[in-house]
Chain A
């Protein structure tokens, strides 16, 4: 294979990734949310299992991990496109896909570093409470796959959304999703109690079947099942890996299309 062909098959530009990781880790909001996530892990010792390190019953992990992921993915590609930095970097023998992969991997490295510290603190808290188990070690890869899937979605949207509006779109979708889920469940409860409005029950059934597939799924319950020696469901984890690859593919595709259109203009 020629060198040029090898370059165009490259998935990640590591110089771009390391630069991006450095920049993101120096951002104050990222450090604030990262610190809050890490502090929240101190309470994991009083919870159920490794599932609560990055999800489950840990409210702080849910809030701060979501916040951290949104901050790391905010304007991930758009800030480079709008400042003209991306066009400058792409003058080098570097494919657009490798540039996209580099930015995504860079934000992923920053996310992984913060999550690894949080996970170590969480395991330490569980240890000192006397209920650390080797299953807790899996909390990091499982939790990271979940958060990285969201990061990949943010990166893909950032190719076409201005500035930090990718964060707004993802957050709005999450809020609407939760609203749809809970209002359907509530309406269904009322309808069933009154034995009428069958269409609400139908709607609830359709919603329950479709809604879990809109976006990456929470895989952390797998760790809770492992701690109970029950049959663990690897489905959500696999589903998140599909989202990582799919969003990466879509993002790289959109960036290629966008850059080609800009050159023709």
Chain B
């Protein structure tokens, strides 16, 4: 893989952002009184 064709972003960053956002929304929806 040449450097000019390197992946734009590591998948871990996308996955971490999506998982944390989902966790936050789930917490807000599920936690009572919040």
A-to-B contact residues, CB < 8 Å:
2, 4-5, 8-11, 93, 95-98, 231, 233-235, 238-239, 241-242, 245-246, 248-249, 252-253, 256, 263
Contacts and interface: CB of A to CB of B under 8 A. Distances in A.
A253 B31 contact: no
Nearest to A91: B3
A245 B13 CA distance: 7
A248 B21 CA distance: 14
B9 A246 contact: no
A235 B8 contact: no
A245 B17 contact: yes
B24 A8 contact: no
Majority SS at the chain B contact face: helix
Interface of B: 1, 3-4, 6-14, 16-17, 20-21, 23-24, 27-28, 31, 33-34
B8 A253 contact: yes
A93 B23 CA distance: 35
A17 to B, nearest CB: 15
A253 B9 contact: yes
Given A245-B17, A249-B14, A263-B4, 16 more contacts: A4-B1, A8-B7, A95-B10, A97-B9, A97-B13, A98-B10, A231-B33, A235-B31, A238-B24, A241-B20, A241-B24, A242-B24, A249-B13, A249-B17, A253-B9, A256-B9
A217 to B, nearest CB: 11
Nearest to B17: A245
* The 3 A-B residue pairs with the shortest CB-CB distance in the complex, in nearest-first order: A245-B17, A4-B1, A238-B24
A223 B28 CA distance: 19
B9 A238 contact: no
A238 B8 contact: no
Given A235-B27, A238-B23, A93 B10 contact: no
7 contacts: A8-B6, A93-B3, A241-B24, A245-B13, A245-B21, A246-B21, A252-B9
A2 B13 contact: no
Contacts of B7: 5, 8-9, 95
A11 B13 contact: yes
Contacts of B16: 245, 248-249
Which of B11, B13, B24 gathers most chain A CB within 10 Å?
A: B13
Contacts of A11: 10, 12-13
Contacts of B4: 263
Contacts of B27: 234-235, 238
B10 A8 contact: yes
A253 B4 CA distance: 15
